[in-house]
Amino acid sequence: MKIGLLGFGVVGRGVYEITCARDDMQVTKVLCLEDISLPDAEAVKDFKEILNDDSIDTVVEAMGGLHPAYEFVRAAIEAGKNVVTSNKALVCTFYDELLPLAQSKGVKFRSTAAVGGGIGWLSELERSRRVQTISQVGGIMNGTCNYILDNMTRMGLNYDDVLKQAQKLGYAEANPSTDVDGIDTWHKVILSSNIAFGVTVDKSTVPVAGIRNIQAQDVENFKAHGLVCKLISTGKRTENGCSVYVQPTLVKEGEPEAAVPMNYNLITFIGDTSERMSFYGQGAGRYPTAYNVVQDLVDVLEGKGFYAPYGEKVAADNSEKLTWYVRGNWQGETAESWGNAVIVKDVSVTDMHAWLKENSEAFVAAIRA
């Protein structure tokens, strides 16, 4: 296998280093805007030098972002090259375009590292759905948010101080919006639901709420009631199709999610035969993520393409009614007060997220039964 590598940052460099130790694949060209010198690969600054190289049969996209990653990946597929990517935003956004295109061009497309970093989550979904119906997917899918919430809970720190720690350690970007506003997790649960349920979920129908507004007083309220806050993603089969959403969720102390420390992930599916199966590990990082990219390259060598048949587009039905912790200007009925917050019962996911959009300074968390 001859590989054109797009990007030489954290993940790209890891892919290069791992493939150097193998004799069944070789990175021959690397697209990188910086001046780098590699002993066995040519550094190029023009993607066309990879696209027009007939000796390169596979492109690894490790750039991140939507553009120009999308244009490069689409062009590579059009040119008959296999594609492996770790870019969850790319795959989620262009799911219903890139998958049929890859199929029509007879090339392989894989993206295991797009969800869970070093956890083989999507590849296990692929195996599982062959022999059983999966009724639910989700869990803790973002290490940055989990690091912040874990330190607020264990150390009693406030959000701003923990965020600065996470940025200093490299767990959070200078602009952390994608992580703390739940967008990273949103992409991941949509992609996971697509594969688990064999559909293409309409992204515009999937609500997301992040952790930006959480305060130390909220965490103290949770502790007083034996609860721990985590950013939880949920995808479920329903009578009307599927329900998909992302939101802070309060889980009981002693539950598996409550114990997940630092920047780790815990992702779960529930099958009608296997029941609950959970996957724990590093959700990011150079070598864990690059490991799964190279696993995908091995799968491509063995002729394995994407994980699930491309499915019809469906809207998420989030009419499920939950109990909520609300700190903000709630004007409806309440069940009880927790300090300066209230507990609200029997409000649907759709309605609560709609209220939150109109009350952007509020903090809301679902209370898991």
Which of the residues are catalytic? 188
CA distances, 18 to each of 49, 55, 113, 229, 343 (Å): 23, 21, 15, 37, 51
Q: Which two tokens stand for residue 51?
A: 């696209």
Name the residue type at position 296.
D
279 bridge partner residues: 267
CA distances, 265 to each of 71, 225, 261, 278, 279 (Å): 31, 24, 9, 10, 8
Alpha carbon 117 to chain centroid, angstroms: 8
Q: Is the peptide bond before 39 cis (omega within 30 degrees of 0)?
A: no
**82-85: strand order across its sheet:** 42-44, 26-31, 2-6, 58-61, 82-85, 109-110
Maximal C-alpha separation, the chain: 68
Please name which of 139, 138, 181 lies closest in space to residue 159, comparing C-alpha atoms: 181
Helix (H, G, I), strand (E, B) or coil at 138: strand
Number of helical (H) and strand (E) elements in the chain, helices listed first: 13, 17
How many other C-beta atoms are found inside a 10 Å radius of the C-beta of residue 174? 5
Token pair 């959700």 is found at 283
| Contacts of 226 by beta carbon, 8 Å cutoff, 6+ apart | 252, 253
Query: Are 263 and 147 within 8 A, CB to CB?
Result: yes
Helix (H, G, I), strand (E, B) or coil at 365: strand
Query: Are 197 and 240 within 8 A, CB to CB?
Result: no
